[in-house]
Amino acid sequence: MCAWNPAAEDDERQARDDVHMNLLGAWQLVSYTAHGADGEVIHPLGHTPYGLIIYTPEGYMSAQLGRGDRLPLSTPRLEEATPDELAGAAAAYVAYGGPFEVVDRHTVKHHVTTSLFPNWIGRTQVRTVQFAGSFLRLGVSTPTRIWGAERTAELTWNRLV
pLDDT digits (tens, 9 = 90+) for 25-63: 999 999 999 999 889 999 999 999 999 999 999 999 999
Q: Helix, strand or coil for residue 23?
A: helix
CATH 3.10.20.90 fits 6-160, yes or no: no
The sign one gets for the Cα dihedral 108, 113, 118, 123 is: positive
**According to the model, what pLDDT value does residue 54 have?**
98
**Percent of the chain residues topping a pLDDT of 90:** 83
Residue 133 has pLDDT above 70, yes or no: yes
- Provide the CA 144 distance to its chain's centre, in angstroms: 14
**According to the model, what pLDDT value does residue 82 have?**
95
Contacts of 59 (CB under 8 A, 6+ apart): 99, 100, 101
**According to the model, what pLDDT value does residue 5 have?**
73
Residue 29's Cβ-side half-sphere holds a number of Cα atoms within 13 Å equal to 25
How many CB atoms are closer than 10 A to CB 13?
Answer: 10
The CA distance from 132 to 121, in Å, is 31
Residue 161 has pLDDT above 90, yes or no: no
**According to the model, what pLDDT value does residue 134 have?**
96
pLDDT digits (tens, 9 = 90+) for 66-84: 999 998 999 999 999 999 9
Classify strands 149-160 and 25-36 as parallel, antiparallel or unpaired.
Answer: antiparallel
Q: Using only the alpha carbons of the chain, give its radius of gyration.
A: 18
Residue 2 has pLDDT above 70, yes or no: no
